[in-house]
Homo-oligomer: A and B are copies of this chain.
Amino acid sequence: MELGMIGLGRMGAAMVRRLLKAGHSCVVHDTRRESVDSLQKDGAQGAHSLEELVRRLPAPRAVWLMLPAGVVDGTLTKLTALLEAGDTVIEGGNSHYRDDLRRSAELRARGIHYVDAGVSGGVWGQTRGYCLMIGGEQEAVGRLEPVFSALAPGVEAEPRTPGREGPPTPAEQGWLHCGPNGAGHFVKMVHNGIEYALMAAYAEGLNILHHANVGKHPPTADAETAPLREPEAYPYDFNLAEVTELWRRGSVIGSWLLDLSAQALFKNPELSDFSGRVSDSGEGRWTQQAAIDEGVPTPVLASALYSRFTSQGEAEFSNKLLSAMRFAFGGHLEKKMKGGG
Contacts and interface: CB of A to CB of B under 8 A. Distances in A.
Q: Which of A206, A209, A249, A302 has the most CB of B within 10 A?
A: A249
By size class, the interface of chain A is 35 or more
A271 B206 contact: no
A247 B191 CA distance: 8
B277 A336 contact: yes
A20 interface: no
A279 B164 contact: no
Interface string A239-251: 0001101111111
Contact of A328 (B158, B179, B263): B263
Interface stretch (A45-53, A74-82, A84-92, A115-123): A115-123
Contacts of A106: none
Given A10-B331, A276-B320, A297-B315, A253 B245 contact: no
Contact of A68 (B152, B223, B226, B246): B223
A31 interface: no
A318 B191 contact: no
User: Is chain A's binding surface mostly helix, strand, loop or mixed?
Assistant: helix
Given A131-B251, A307-B318, A324-B264, A161 B299 contact: no
Contacts of A294: 208, 211-212, 214, 228, 234, 314
A138 interface: no
A200 B295 contact: no
A204 B303 CA distance: 12
Contacts of A153: 249-250
Given A202-B321, A263-B328, A288-B288, 19 more contacts: A120-B247, A123-B331, A131-B246, A152-B250, A158-B249, A158-B254, A169-B245, A176-B245, A199-B326, A200-B300, A203-B319, A223-B281, A225-B279, A228-B294, A234-B290, A261-B324, A277-B323, A288-B292, A297-B318
Interface in A162-209: 162-164, 169, 171-176, 178-180, 182-183, 186-187, 190-195, 197-209
A98 interface: yes
A109 interface: no
